[in-house]
Structure 1
Amino acid sequence: MGEGSGLIERGSAAFRRTNLAMFAAGFATFALMYCVQPLLPVFARDFRVTPVVASFALSATTFTLAGALLVASALSEAWGRKAIMAGSIIGAAVLTMVSAAMPHWGAFLVVRAAIGLVLSGLPAVAMGYLAEEMHPRSVGLAMGLYVGGSGFGGMTGRLLTGVLADAIGWRWAIVVIGAIGLVSGLVFAARLPPSRHFSRRSLAIGSLLRGYRAHLADPVLRLLYAEAFLIMGAFVTVYNYITFRLLAPPFALSQTVVGFIFAVYLVGVVSSAWMGHLASRFGRARMLPLGIAIELLGAVITLSGSVAVIVVGIALVTFGFFASHSVASSWVGAQARGARAQAAALYLFLYYLGSSVAGSLGGLAWSFAGWSGVVAMIGGMLAVGMGLTRRLAILPSRVQEII
């Protein structure tokens, strides 16, 4: 703990417990959400839908999650952090297992949308918890490890469903992911220390709206919210449609091989923690454009006709995205003046809205212009993101107070 402050600091037992719990939370969130991503071509085939419609298996989850975040973060201000987060993970895990039994596409999408609704209690609340409970010297690393857990969960969900779909079918593959998410939720509930710096506030709509208006009035936060939309939208678009490219001629890879390609998600675990630490040392305004540039470079490299080079490109996209997200998300917590869960909710609203909107629009780019069209769309988004970092670098920011 921080001397005299009660805040959690790096090296303490509370820091280790918190990071284990948050790693499990990030793991479960991304595994449950993105386990369907490598299965989009399978859904298109089995349910006889187009690639754009198949992408709704993911977009339905992220879209309801985005909207519900704004409410869930407000409820956490009145009800507390830990119970909402634990209930979200466990509930989403159970619904994931239920989704595997849905016989029709419409019913499957309804359950996937419900998963986003239930899961909304975790992401924004987790960011608020870390901002409140961690010492400023340790919050960058803690946020990086939480995002790293997300990366590991995203890899596991994608890899396992890809491999298991060939072995036991996609329905049982999703059941396995749901069971893993349930165990992760129980670990989270057992290990996370209770909030010590949370002040319960009554749920008042007027106060809630004033909090959102105050955050949106901050030019730094507005730019960070825009960055969330762009970096996440580009990232999800790559993963949504690279499977269509690799399963089709001339590559014609199996679902298992494509699943193993998602092991590059491990670089997200490394980059998020590493860049979170570097941002604390050298400043977020320097690290954010670096992460976006790496993501853009990776997207361009995937234009190659070599599978090995494409994998390198996917790895760079993953590294750059998690680096950027780790820096931007911790910046939001540092910049917000009060109601940090609401500030985080707005960031994640745009983050998941980017996933939903760009993730589905990428299907139109794929249908009209193939992979080069997808990369052109991604490149445009990330170029805008790079431009916004120049503005962020010159705006007055509270970040300097804690670096």
Structure 2
Amino acid sequence: MSSDGLQPGSSPYRRLLLALFFVGVATFAQLYSPQGLLPLIAVDQDVSADQAALMVSMATLGLALGVIPWSYIGDAYGRKNAMVWAVALACLFAVLTVIMPTFPLALMMRFVEGFMLGGVPALAVAYLSEEVSPRAAAVAAGTYISGTTVGGLSGRILAAPVGDEIGWKPGMLAVTVLAVGCVVVFVLAAPRAQSFTPRRSSFKQAVGQLLGNLRSPGLRVIYLQGFLTMGGFVAMYNFMAFHLAEPPFGLPLGLISLIFLAYVAGTFSSPRAGALAARWGRKPVLIGGNVVMLCGVVCRWTCVIEGRFYSAR
């Protein structure tokens, strides 16, 4: 390996991208697997749409809270090892979720599952940044993000049709089986870290570094954007299934799940955005992405309003 990191085209570089792609699939397939099943969960557990949506929200909250502790663990014991443990434990808690006897206990398991899944986004980009040549880092990160979009899509697309036929619990278990297979690929494909140096700093130091990041105005803007865009994105998909399952649409879950095919756009745009950022800089690409996203939101609501109008007629 070059002292400048893994070079594009080399076998270890390709293996690393493959590994990160599949661990991204495993993570986000599990995170969002209940989303297409929420109407079934609401009926089966006798809860409201808002309460059913907590199956996604609790896992997302767990992931957000798990990022910092997992970053600390990865610094001390290695990125790859920490990611393997994180996603493997997440698979375990995914199984526990569907066998819990009550809805509140299932929510608790989803929270812990999300906490475990937080190890992957906490460490994946740091892992590739350490191992990959700087000039290829943006493209490599885009490949990992592509894996997350494929994961989010596959979790929903797989869970909803299975759930529609035999129940929401088998639907979520089917996604867990998929995730286990992806974890196996990650373990076998990921090359041994060559540039990692353990840093066993105290938890107090880790908290201090976090607070230092929060003092940066530029970073606070980025954090706020992530919070707002991700929150709106998840909420929109949480309730879209309820909306389409009710009159005047009345669509089955298997058909409703096809709306998640919009994820494919992210699969192709992520590596492209990385390449554009490497050429033009991150800020112009980020601004352009936001503009395109806002245009898409406007178009989506226009289509929904028109659809309701003509259905009512």
Same fold, judged at TM 0.5 (above): yes
8 Å CA contact retained: 1:158, 1:259? yes
Out of 268, 271, 274, the position equivalent to 1:270 is 268
2:200 counterpart of 1:211: no
Distance 2:272 2:307 in 1: 24
8 Å CA contact retained: 2:24, 2:145? yes
Between 92-101 and 148-157, report the one with greater CA deviation: 92-101
Partner of 2:142: 144
- 3-state DSSP class of the match of 2:99? coil
1:147-166 Cα deviation digits (max 9, x unpaired): 10000011000111111112
Matched AA of 1:116: G
Distance 1:136 1:237 in 2: 35
8 Å CA contact retained: 1:162, 1:259? yes
Distance 2:286 2:94 in 1: 34
Out of 167, 170, 173, the position equivalent to 2:171 is 173
Percent sequence identity is 33
Distance 1:99 1:206 in 2: 33
Out of 182, 186, 193, the position equivalent to 1:195 is 193
Out of 254, 257, 262, the position equivalent to 2:255 is 257
**5 Å matches for 1:1-400?**
1-2=1-2, 4-5=3-4, 7-305=5-303
Note the residue ranges of structure 2 that are not aligned, 5 or more in a row. 309-313
Distance 2:134 2:150 in 1: 25
1:169-203 Cα deviation digits (max 9, x unpaired): 21111111111101111111111112222221123
8 Å CA contact retained: 1:33, 1:58? yes
Distance 1:308 1:31 in 2: 32
Distance verdict in 2 for CA 1:207–1:235, change over 3 Å: same
Distance 1:197 1:221 in 2: 26
Distance 2:248 2:42 in 1: 19
Residue 130 of structure 1, CA deviation: 1.6
Distance verdict in 2 for CA 1:307–1:194, change over 3 Å: farther
Note the residue ranges of structure 1 that are not aligned, 5 or more in a row. 311-403
Between 297-306 and 193-202, report the one with greater CA deviation: 297-306
- 3-state DSSP class of the match of 2:199? coil
8 Å CA contact retained: 2:164, 2:253? yes
Distance 1:156 1:284 in 2: 28
Greater than 6 Å deviation, 4+ residue runs: 307-310
Q: Aligned pairs, how many? A: 308
Residue 261 of structure 1, CA deviation: 2.3
Residue 248 of structure 1, CA deviation: 1.1
Distance 2:254 2:199 in 1: 49
Q: TM-score, normalised by structure 2?
A: 0.93
Residue 204 of structure 1, CA deviation: 0.7
Distance verdict in 2 for CA 1:305–1:285, change over 3 Å: closer
1:105-125 Cα deviation digits (max 9, x unpaired): 112111111101222221111
Residue 305 of structure 1, CA deviation: 4.8
Distance 1:301 1:242 in 2: 15
8 Å CA contact retained: 1:238, 1:299? no
Partner of 2:311: none
8 Å CA contact retained: 1:75, 1:203? no
8 Å CA contact retained: 1:231, 1:292? no
Distance 2:306 2:145 in 1: 26
Residue 70 of structure 1, CA deviation: 1.1
Distance 2:292 2:236 in 1: 14
Residue 101 of structure 1, CA deviation: 2.0
8 Å CA contact retained: 1:39, 1:170? yes
Distance 2:193 2:306 in 1: 46
Distance 1:109 1:65 in 2: 14
- 3-state DSSP class of the match of 2:94? helix
8 Å CA contact retained: 2:40, 2:167? no
Matched AA of 2:226: A
- 3-state DSSP class of the match of 1:108? helix
8 Å CA contact retained: 1:76, 1:84? yes
Residue 309 of structure 1, CA deviation: 8.1
